[in-house]
Amino acid sequence: MARKSRQKFGQESIPKDEMPKTKISRESLKRSASLFRYMGPHRWKFFLGLIFLGLTAATALIFPRLMGELMGIISGESGIVLPSTLSPDGGQSNFISAETKQNLLNSANSVGIKLIILFSLQAVFSFFRVLTFSQATENMLAKLRQDTFSQMLKMPMTYFSKNQSAELSTRLSADIAQIGDTLTTGIAEFLRQLIIIIGGMTIICFISWKLALVMLAIVPPVAFITVFFGRRIRKHSKTVQEKVGESNVIVSEGFQGITNVKSFTNEGHEVNRYKKITIEIVQEAIRYAISRGSFFSFIIFCLFGSMILMVWIGVRMTVADELSAGQMLSFLFYSLFISASFGGIAEQFAQIQRAMGASDRVFEVLNEQIEVVNTTENRIRGRLKLNGAISIQGAAFSYPSRKDFQVLQNINIDVNPGETIAIVGPSGSGKSTIAQLLLRFYEPDKGKILFDGKDAKEYDLTELRENMAIVPQDVLLFAGTIRENIAYGKPGSTNEEIIEAARNANALSFIETFPDKFETKVGDRGIQLSGGQRQRIAIARAVLKNPVILILDEATSSLDSESERIVQEALDKLMIGRTSFVIAHRLATIRKADKIIVIEKGAVVEVGKHDELIAIDNGLYRSLSRLQFQGDISE
């Protein structure tokens, strides 16, 4: 229960190490390579970054060699002869002359200057590698985000009925972010570590093939076991965090629902729930501690032990004149670099797999069939002006997710321009589905819909919808100002047009009471406004659009009596001169409709005016009216 609640309330993005991976194959590589076309004119920067990457790896491989040279100066490998003299007791004593000391210092300075130049070059190469990769990748991600969002908005409603909005948001956020991280750092690090492994192994084989065999027999297995331990520790850590999150949900639910807890006398039940989860936290935390302890023991014994073993073997080879001290130091540095790269390359490879999986999911969206809509913001609006005549002929429909259940059956409705048509019926009878068919959110499985005698499919979809507006029961306002939400009905409207729309929607009176008036922030989904205020903003939005066809879907059902009266007055003014479809449960709001369509189980069972339908004995409309008005059905 707690986990389900957490998923519902938290809606957190997917952690990157939990994102699904895809196997690397020719097909997956081909799909992922399609990303590069989004780089466009910035593609050359990515390939320039690869050059800087190679230079960065090359400078990293030179470092151990120079460190070996520095050690060689101390051990006399620089070619400078250290003279021997007799000591007073007849033994030999090394005496270094001032000239020899100066030569040694000069050699050390020479190597030091080389190291400074090396690190300076590496710093420059690293900077330009990051810069060029970032410029190419960020421009690519921007274009990819734009195309993906545009593609999603053009999807038919069937797509949104099959995919949750949280999942679609993940495509734009987590998936594309994963692609960006991989292209910016993941691929670069993978290639850099690969170059270090191949280059380093080649070099150490030239230094000492015997010691190289020892290193290859010890270090790679130890490095991969280290990676395995790390993943196991992260898994236990994640489980502990999940359990703690579940416990927090129990606490939050208990405090937020304290009224229910006390009224149902379930204090003990909540305490036991919390006790159970805390015991699970302890058990999982102990497993986490065991894994961490084992990991630290492994690091101390195996990793450092293997390095000590290599040093011991190297010292023995140095004593036997099979290896110089400088070569041994260079070998050890190369071994450390190779070990670190072996440990890191596995994670980078996993990141590349996650990025390929993310790109597959993004391209799934980009390859979907879309609606043909005009997304040009400054397009010419109002080129198509309908008269408002509508004819629904034999329409039948089932939702894609429930093909076995027919929502509408053989619906026939004829509407003249300017008429008000009320659609009533029990819950689930298919009333709102008719509105969705009118807006062409879905296409009927059978039959057709005509606008002004012409099949709806023959119209440009954008131009057809420009002639319609809907005021729903649950109004969604965008998290901006009142002005921006009203202007959404007609982008580019003048201030006078917005004020007039608010006045006609009975919204101007409450808007002017706010200190910021039209610049008042409405909050997320309009939460800072009351239900009636949100509804009037939605009506003002529809007024500004000035539609030929108006759809009111339970527009007043969730309001109190006073708000309903004010909103209904605004709706009555809005419906004048327009073809209007009113979907309503409250029958008092549709008594003056030109025609009332009564639907039951997806079929039209009664058609007529209010007085005609009331007169039908045992009629559904009469029955619904009796339930609402408690027997007084004559008014």
Class of residue 432 by CB neighbours under 10 A (exposed 0-12, middle 13-18, buried 19+):
middle
pLDDT band for position 84 (50/70/90)?
very low
Instruction: Answer whether residue 82 shows pLDDT above 60.
Output: no
Model confidence band, residue 11 (pLDDT cutoffs 50, 70, 90): very low
Helix (H, G, I), strand (E, B) or coil at 385: coil
H helices of 257-380, in order, are 258-263, 267-298, 304-319, 325-366
| Entry pTM | 0.68
| Structure-token match 């499985």, residue found | 445
Q: How far apart are CA 280 and CA 278, in angstroms?
A: 5
pLDDT for residue 379: 59
Give 622-630 contacts, CB < 8 A, sequence gap 24+: 624/424, 624/426, 624/587, 625/587, 628/586, 628/587, 628/588, 629/587, 629/588
What does the alpha-carbon distance between residue 244 and residue 468 come to, in Å, rounded to a whole number? 50
Q: What is the pLDDT of residue 441?
A: 86
**Per-residue pLDDT tens over the stretch 344-356:** 776 777 777 777 7
Identify the pLDDT of residue 117. Answer: 86
Residue 552 backbone dihedrals phi, psi, to 5 degrees: -115, 105
435-454, pLDDT tens digit by residue?
A: 888 888 888 889 888 888 88
Where residue 120 falls (left for φ over 0; alpha for ψ -120 to 50; beta otherwise) is alpha
Distance CA 579, CA 615 (A): 26
Alpha-carbon span 563 to 586, nearest angstrom: 14
Question: What is the per-residue pLDDT across 581-604, written as a single tens digit (0 to 9) for each?
Answer: 888 776 766 777 888 888 888 888
- Pseudo-torsion of CA 93, 98, 101, 106, nearest 10°? -160
Query: Tokens at residue 148, please?
Result: 């993906």
Site of tokens 């690091």: 299
Alpha carbons 18 and 8: distance in angstroms, whole number? 18
**Which two structure tokens, joined as six digits, stand for 360?**
């597959």
Whole-number pLDDT of residue 76: 54
Grade residue 65 by pLDDT with cuts at 50, 70 and 90.
confident
Find the angle CA(577)-CA(500)-CA(519) to the nearest 5 degrees.
Answer: 135
Residue 248 to residue 253: CA distance in whole angstroms: 8
- The pLDDT assigned to 93 comes to 47
The tokens of 464 are what?
A: 């057809």
> What's the rounded Cα separation, in Å, for the pair 491 and 280?
55
Beta bridge partners of 606: 598
Q: Check residue 292 and give its pLDDT.
A: 75
